[in-house]
Structure 1
Amino acid sequence: IPPKKGRSHVLRIIRELIEFEPKSKKTNFAEALKFLSNVMKKKAIVFVLSDFISEDYQHTLKIASGRHDMTGIRVYDRHEEAIPNLGIVQMQDEETGELMLVNTASKTVRNNYAQYYRDKVNYFKESFTKSGAGTIDCRVDESYVKKLLGYFKRRG
């Protein structure tokens, strides 16, 4: 969607997001950043909304941030931070569709997942910081308006 101003353009963006049918469930953030760098030749203000669970985007983010004013908005649910002890649970990988049984009663499983999650969050923050880009953490049950206002106040 080309950049434009006005209420009707904002509504178009929202409509496009709602109606979007992905070709794949796989996440490839690095490819999206490459596309951005190739398509947007003029400097732009770019907000990226994601859970940022994927990795290997640090290099392409650095290139895109060199051209554009980038801000990563990490959207997450507090329930994603840890797996509760529910015994053996069938889980599905959203990207591959693979089903697996997970023993959530295992403290090792829960600790490994919590560490995995922390590592992904740290990768997001380090990648954006090293690239000179801003970050915002938005929990789905909190006001995003306060987060955005705080971010813009800090930026001055």
Structure 2
Amino acid sequence: MLDAATIKQIRNFELRLSHRIDTLYSGEYSSAFKGRGIEFSQVRKYIEGDDIRLIDWNVTARMREPYVKEYVEERELSVLFLVDISKSAYFGTRRRTKRQLISEFTGTMAYLAMVHQDKVGLVLFTNEVERSLPIKKGRPHFFQLMNHLMNHESKGDGTNITEALKILTKRSLRRSIVFIVSDFITEEDLYRPLKSIYRRHDIIIVRTRDEQELELNFQGFIEVEDPETGEVYLLDSKDLSALRAYRKSMDEWTEYHTRVAKKLHIPIIELTTWTDISKPIIEFIRKRERGRSRR
């Protein structure tokens, strides 16, 4: 049961989004995402000119004449958000924390899906999956999703994206659009786990950053997360060797994850705590729309 304060907060969020969607995202969501998948409809007799790749060889052998599979465009999408809520998500030095940024982005995309009658699901994870909401549609489900996004307190240490991705193979999921929302402060080798699922699902990486993590331009102490252990520790601005080592580690793993995404043709949306999320969302949707129109 949602408390009155949470309901009011979500309704205010909805109100802001309704104006933004009317002015910024109108029509673009559908053209960028709709029709991405197809689902099996029936088999029928082969007609000259049919694509031979659609021949159903089992039915053909049984009927002793060629039959092909027919598919129809999916009427609704399934959208799943894998959201990293590890300790580093609570970091933020400008407009908001990364956790607030993550909630704003995920809430915006989930709301877009809801108003287009699509299904949405949510997985919150740290070094393990902490909360999982099934893929469903409707406003009550959206309220539950937002409640967990805003109020779930993380328990685990570190980030284990590989563990979160396993949910895609454990569940019998139809083809889905999967947003992996994380700062990717992790030394995981993500190539194999992503490769195992990217053909079955439409994967999109959403990488979150705070200015201080990129520039390390601060005085005194700052909390940072060790990419390998997930341990949060204090970094001293006067310890130049530690600053250089941390920046080098961050740069190397950022470059590595970018290379993996590029190799698998997985798009990346870059979000920062000091800028509005509208611009990167619009840029991504329009780029995706252009890519589809060229096919």
Q: Same fold (TM over 0.5)?
A: yes
Cα distance in 2 between the residues matched to 1:15 and 1:129? 34
C-alpha deviation, 1:119, in angstroms = 1.3
SS in 2 for 1:137: strand
Name the structure 2 match of 1:139.
272
| Per-residue deviation, residues 45-102 of structure 1 (Å, max 9, x unmatched) | 0111110111222211111212110111111111111333646x485758435x56x5
Cα distance in 1 between the residues matched to 2:218 and 2:267? 35
C-alpha deviation, 1:103, in angstroms = 4.8
Name the structure 2 match of 1:53.
185
Distance change (3 Å), C-alpha of 1:26 and 1:107: closer
Structure 2: segments with no counterpart, 5+ residues: 1-132, 290-295
258, 261, 266: which is aligned to 1:128?
Answer: 261
Relative to the length of structure 2, the TM-score reads 0.46
Name the structure 2 match of 1:96.
231
Comparing 146-155 with 102-111, greater Cα deviation is found at 102-111
Name the structure 2 match of 1:18.
150
Relative to the length of structure 1, the TM-score reads 0.82
Cα distance in 1 between the residues matched to 2:285 and 2:212? 27
* Paired amino acid for 1:34: K
Q: Is 2:169 aligned against 1:37?
A: yes
Cα distance in 1 between the residues matched to 2:224 and 2:241? 20
Q: May I ask how many residue pairs the two structures share in their alignment? A: 153
Name the structure 2 match of 1:28.
160
Comparing 121-130 with 18-27, greater Cα deviation is found at 18-27
* Higher relative contact order, chain-length normalized (CA < 8 Å, sep 6+): 1
Cα distance in 1 between the residues matched to 2:208 and 2:275? 10
Structure 1: segments with no counterpart, 5+ residues: none
SS in 2 for 1:36: helix
135, 138, 151: which is aligned to 1:6?
Answer: 138
Cα distance in 2 between the residues matched to 1:117 and 1:139? 15
Flag the structure with larger Rg.
2
* Paired amino acid for 1:35: I
Cα distance in 2 between the residues matched to 1:18 and 1:124? 27
Distance change (3 Å), C-alpha of 1:90 and 1:154: closer
C-alpha deviation, 1:124, in angstroms = 2.2
C-alpha deviation, 1:40, in angstroms = 4.5
For the 8 Å contact 2:190–2:257, the answer to whether it is kept is no
SS in 1 for 2:135: coil
